[in-house]
Each structure stands twice: as structure tokens, then as C-alpha cells.
Amino acid sequence: MSESRLLNQALRAVLSGQPRAAADRHRPAWHLAPTVGLMNDPNGFIQFNGRYVLCYQWNPLACAHGAKFWGQWSSADLVHWRHEPLALAPAEEYESHGCYSGSAVDNQGVLTLVYTGNVKFADGGRTAWQCLAEQQSDGSFRKLGPVLALPEGYTGHVRDPKVWQHDGQWYMVLGAQDQQLQGKVLLLRSADLHDWTLLGEIAGSRVNGLGDFGYMWECPDLFTLDDSDVLLVCPQGLPAEQYRWRNTFQSGYFCGTLDYPGVQYRHGDFHELDHGFEFYAPQTTLADDGRRLLIGWMGIPDGDEFAQPTREHGWMHTMTCPRELTLHGDRLRQRPVRELQQLRGQETQLRGIAENLPAVDIGSAELELTLTGSCHFSFADTLHLSADRHGLTLRRHNLRSGEEETRYWHGEVRQLRILCDRSSVEIFINDGDAVMSSRYFPQPEPRLRLTGNAQITLRHWRLQQCVIE
């Protein structure tokens, strides 16, 4: 479809849908969410000329997956965001079924997007092109078209380019599925972003002694943190176990060493990035001040998403809060970026036995607490967190089936930092050793109630609203 028709349709969807979406009580007060329609992966996350840019997979036309656009926001401080012109609309033949996920680089002062043109055929087949678009002086993006076709030996599922520079060369990782239906990560090199050489597979199912590890790997991201080369990736098809891999699709990481000339990535075990119900497709960037920042999608593309009540209001999903990553041994630690503290209002402190404490407001709030002993947190009677000597258990009723579902974290719980925003809860455990991120859909004025005999010290802040400009 022509670009101007697509843009007209998107404009009409925003104009007609925005009032209903904005009136939804589940809309976040300070997390990023789409004006209307369905948002999924963060894309093109970069600090460019000092300002953060974050694009996102977006179907403005319906609360459904489909031919994705790239929406775009920017921010000076990771807290206050403003809408920017739509970055990409799926107008060309090589992207007819979506401008799928990808990344952004600073190519000699030009903000350049590298993304996947997704194409589906009438006979059920599909292909994928890796494509470029360059920012113009008026802020819009000029498409340069495909720079890479499907490599031989892989199905039509090759996507989500993440590009970075190393020793004067550009490198790309791609998520892929090979002809034997095994998920992989491919490494490619280019001198100019246009001409790419496939170097090989650096990780995947049946690679590096991993055994069977999923039929497709999506959204890879590779970066150096301290002395380690960290690979984030989303494997699809890991069978759920009693205490791990319980979401339909996983999002996790490996730590290791990438030997660029030898095209070998030696890595350790796969660790989940988040132990909550909703977390997928995160993307990182290196900030000017040296911090490695991550934003994830607080959603999972598994169909259960369509039972979320915001769909009735014409919008779906939010991003996680921006997080700073640090490495401790072979484990990543995630903490909300310090800039978010700007949102804090007046502080209230509570101390005592859990069940004696008054309920606290969690509409838009931050809690920091230390605990010794067992206790139970009820988030508006909708989401339940139990802390005992084994660790944490998070429970809720599945919105589609009504059945109880649980997620776990094992370890000694000493401290929790909880960010609540209308319909989401992000629980940072022991100063970021682990995180549980989840959506929930409470009645108005949600409150947190504690029970149990744990000794608690609690700090509470209401967080200010921060609408996208």
C-alpha cells in the first residue's frame, strides 16, 4: 500500500482512538505505551546527539499483530518522552508484511536504522530482507532498501538485526531459524552497512554444546560489559519446567567471549532476564556516560495478550522502565535508571510486622523494603507475591483461562524495590539481582496489603505522572 495511504490510516486511527485510550484507568502514568493500537518490541534504542531515541514495533491500525510500523519517541533524560514523526511505515514490497524489529546506529553523524522487511506470500511462504533507512535533515527517514537477502540454509525466519561497531568494522547479529528448524544467532560483518558478509553461527540450538534449545531465536543483542561479551536473545520453543521457562517464550542471556576473527562465541549457561509474567524482546544501548541501558517489552506474543482489558480501549502493552545493566560474575544485575527518582513525591516510611502495616497506595508508586521472615503481598487482590525462605512466588489468575499461574525466583530475599504504574508491577530483588515484571488490571485506587510475620522496613513514594508530549 502507498506510504501516504498508510500514514492517512494511521492518522485517522490515532485521532479517532486517542480519547478512548487516554481515558482508560489502566493507562500508565509514566511508562511508555502506544497512543492507540498494539505496541511490541523496543527498536532503534540509541543516544544520538545527546538525546535518547526509542522506536517501537507498532500496529496503529488494530490491537493485533500484523504489518508493523516503527513509532518513535525521544527524550533528554529517559523520563520525559515526546512523540517524534513515525519512523517507518510498511509501504514497500520488500516490507509488505511489516517493518520488523531492528536497531539504530550513528553512521558518521547520520542516524541510520537497520530493520527487517517482512514478506509473506499467498502460499504461506515467507521471506525477510534486512534493510536500511537514513534520517534526513527534516527528521524523516529515507529508505535505502534491502542490503541483505535470506542467507542460504535458513527458513524465512531471519530477522531483528542489532548492529554495532568494532575495530572499524560494522557487525550485525540476526535471529534465525535453520532448515532443520533450530534457532540460531548469525554474525555478519560489513565495512559500510551496505555490503554484508555472513561470518557464521555464533550461538543457537545444537551450537556450542547447548543441545536442543528452541526452534527460533529472536531479537539478539550482543555487547561488551566489563570483560564479558553478553548475548541477549529470545529463544522460542523451550519446554516449560517446574521453576523456569514458564512463559510461552523466553528472554535471557549468555555471558562469554566473542572471538571475532575466529567467529567463535564461547559462552556459559542461559539465564532468564526476568522472572515475571510479561517480559520479552529487550534492547540495549550504550549511553554517552558509559552506562549499558535496557528497555524491554512488558508483553509476550502468545495470544493470552488479547485477553488484556485495555484492548477494549483500543491500546495494548507498555515498555518496561529503562534499566541500567551491570555485571557481577556471570550474572547481570538490572536497576531502574537513577533518572526515575525525579518522579518521586513525598516519602512515607513504615516499619513493623508485615500484617500490622497499613495498606499503601500503588496506583503510581515506588516501594523500597527490607524484610526478614515470610510474608505475602497482595497487589489489589489481583496479583500475589509470597516471600519465604525458598524465595518468591508470584501468582495470578490467567486472564484467558481463569486458571492460577505462578512464576518463581529462588534465593534469599533481603530487599525489594517495586515500581507500580496503574497496570504494571516491576519487582527488583536484592538490588537488581533478579526482576519480576508483570501486568495486572486492578480496580481503581489499587492498594498493596501485607500479611505474615516478617519484620519490614518500607519506604514509599507516590510517583508523578509523566505524559508523553
Residues recognised as catalytic: 41
Shortest distance, position 190 Cβ to ligand FRU, whole Å: 20
The DSSP call for residue 49 is T
Nearer to ligand FRU, 291 or 317 (CB): 317
Cβ closest to ligand FRU, residue 15 vs residue 64? 64
Q: Give the x-and-dash track for 107-146 against ligand FRU (CB under 6 A).
A: ---------x------------------------------
Which of 379, 453, 376 is closest to 419 using CA atoms? 379
Give the max Cα distance, the chain. Answer: 65
Residue 41 binds ligand FRU, judged by CB under 6 A: yes
Q: How far is the CB of 281 from ligand FRU (least distance, A)?
A: 4
Site for ligand FRU contains 159 (CB under 6 A)? yes
| Position among 6, 21, 35, 40 found at the interface with ligand FRU (CB under 6 A) | 40
Could you give the count of Cα atoms lying within 13 Å of 178 in the half-sphere of its Cβ?
17
Question: Left, alpha or beta for 382 (phi > 0: left; psi -120 to 50: alpha)?
Answer: alpha
Q: Which of 178, 218, 305, 324 binds ligand FRU (CB under 6 A)?
A: 218
Site residues (CB under 6 A) for ligand FRU, limited to 64-93: 68
Cell of 165: 561497531
Lookup: cell for 455: 519484620
At its nearest, how many Å lie between ligand FRU and the CB of residue 351? 42
Strand 315-316 and strand 37-48: pairing?
A: parallel
Q: Which of residues 386-445 bind ligand FRU (CB under 6 A)?
A: none
- Sheet bearing 455-463, strands edge to edge: 344-353, 455-463, 364-372, 415-421, 424-429, 434-439
Among 13, 45, 46, 57, interactor with ligand FRU by CB under 6 A: 57
The site for ligand FRU, by CB under 6 A, has a size of: 14
For residues 463 and 345, the answer to whether their CB atoms sit within 8 Å is yes
153 phi-psi bin (left φ>0, alpha ψ -120 to 50, beta other):
left
At 326 the three-state DSSP class reads strand
Of 57 and 437, CB closest to ligand FRU: 57
Distance between CA 228 and CA 219 in Å, rounded?
19
Q: Which of 281, 340, 371, 383 binds ligand FRU (CB under 6 A)?
A: 281
Minimum Å gap between C-beta 332 and ligand FRU is 20
Please select the residue that binds ligand FRU; options are 35, 47, 75, 101, rule is CB under 6 A: 101
Q: Is 219 in the site for ligand FRU (CB under 6 A)?
A: yes
Alpha helices in 2-134 (DSSP H): 3-22
Cα separation, 47 vs 273, in Å, equals 23
Q: Which three cell numbers stand for residue 36?
A: 492507540
CB-nearer residue toward ligand FRU: 282 or 432? 282
In this complex, which beta carbon is closest to ligand FRU, that of residue 97 or of residue 206? 97
Residue numbers of the site for ligand FRU (CB under 6 A)?
Answer: 40-41, 57, 68, 100-101, 116, 159-160, 218-219, 280-281, 301
